[in-house]
Amino acid sequence: MSGWREDELEKALLEAKARIESMVALHRDRSSQEQLITVVDNAYDVVLETAAGLVKEATTSIDIIHARRPSRADRIQRRTDQDERALLYGAQEGVTIRLLTTPTLLDDDFVREQLGRERPVAIRVAHMPPLQALVVDDSVALVVAESAAGRRTSVIRVAELLHSLRMLFDSIWKDAFRAGERFVFGDRTRAAFARRILRYLQAGVTDEVAARELTVSVRTYRRYVADIMSQLGANSRFQAGVRAAELGLLPPTPGAEPGGRG
């Protein structure tokens, strides 16, 4: 991505974040009586408990933006990362979970955990303005945002705000880097090459045709396939395709249950 496009994207994201924060402030008083926006105590334990409650209520999807560094008070109250991981693992079966985070906040251990899970959390990485948000079923969100008045934590059920959060999330997600690639394939160049092979497998392309497209011998191509299967912990080519889809490296295989949207 060119520097100009990165600058434009960052500007758009900052504008979207500012709009969300201003709309929260605007709606806070007006919506409080209707309970469309509920103010939450900023204490770490209270925020975590509120998030856990929303996660347990989820029936279809959970989208998370984790782009705000914990405050000093949070770091003092925070006992272990396991509390936050357990929160996500408390979701009902069948709920898809997507996590957007920044390079500096990426939890490598959590990413590695997903490689061995039957239903992994889909994780992508991008540069984002500082914001913390948990969106459940596109119907309710927990948002932690900074403002001139300081940090504010709110549970939001205002349709307009939820739509803005969805637009912000999706605009970042589509261009974000898949966190699992680095751990499965080592770097982005190898990951791109592996995804190309996985797409051939998913499409049912013969080894001969795929090898010709990649300008390698059939023997070399089959060695690449075997290496990818090993890295994905797959016992068959079909299983490799399903596993890759679960990790967000490919679109879901028809008939398979994806581990996350997008």
Tokens 């693992």: give the residue.
89
Q: Which residues pair with 63 in a beta bridge?
A: 98, 135
Judged against a pLDDT cut of 80, whether residue 252 lies above it is answered with no
Nearest to 173 by CA among 246, 101, 103, 111: 101
Per-residue confidence (pLDDT) for residue 258, from 0 to 100: 38
Residue 158 has pLDDT above 50, yes or no: yes
pLDDT of residue 257 exceeding 50: no
Per-residue model confidence as pLDDT tens digits over 93-150: 889 999 999 888 888 788 877 766 778 888 888 888 788 899 999 999 999 877 666 7
> Dihedral angle at the C-alpha atoms of 243, 245, 246, 248, nearest 10 degrees?
130
DSSP conformation class of 217: -
What would you report as the CA-atom Rg of the chain, rounded to the nearest whole angstrom? 20
224 by Cβ neighbours in 10 Å (0-12 / 13-18 / 19+) ranks as middle
123: nearest Cα among 69, 172, 187, 87: 172
Mean pLDDT of the 209-227 span: 91
pLDDT at 247 > cutoff 90: no
C-alpha span between 150 and 144 (Å, rounded)? 10
| pLDDT confidence of residue 131 | 83
Indicate the residue type of 16: A
Measure the CA dihedral 30/135/67/127, to 10°: -110
The Cβ of residue 234 has, within 10 Å, a number of other Cβ atoms equal to 16
| CATH assignment of 3-175, among 3.40.720.10, 3.40.50.970, 3.30.870.10, 3.40.190.10 | 3.30.870.10
Q: What is the mean pLDDT of residues 83-100?
A: 87
Please work out, in degrees rounded to the nearest 5, the angle formed at the alpha carbon of residue 98 by the alpha carbons of 255 and 113.
Answer: 90
Are 138 and 166 contacting, i.e. CB atoms less than 8 angstroms apart?
Answer: yes
Structure tokens at 198: 């996985």
CB 140 within 8 A of CB 134: no
- CA distances from residue 163 to 56, 157, 167 in whole angstroms, order as listed: 22, 10, 6
Tokens representing residue 70 in the block: 């914990």
Look up the pTM and report it: 0.63
Q: For the chain, first and last CA: distance in Å?
A: 20
Measure the CA–CA gap between 233 and 115, rounded to whole angstroms: 9
Asked if 122 contacts 50 with a C-beta cutoff of 8 angstroms, the reply is: no
**3-state SS, residue 31:** helix
Domain-wise residue ranges, the chain: 3-175, 181-246
Highest mean pLDDT of the ranges 6-10, 39-43, 81-85: 39-43
In the block, tokens 């770490």 appear at: 44
Comparing CA positions, the residue from 118, 249, 104 lying closest to residue 183 is 249
**pLDDT per residue as tens digits for the range 199-213:** 888 888 999 999 999
State which fold the 181-246 domain adopts.
Arc Repressor Mutant, subunit A (1.10.10)
What is the DSSP-derived secondary structure letter of residue 129?
Answer: -
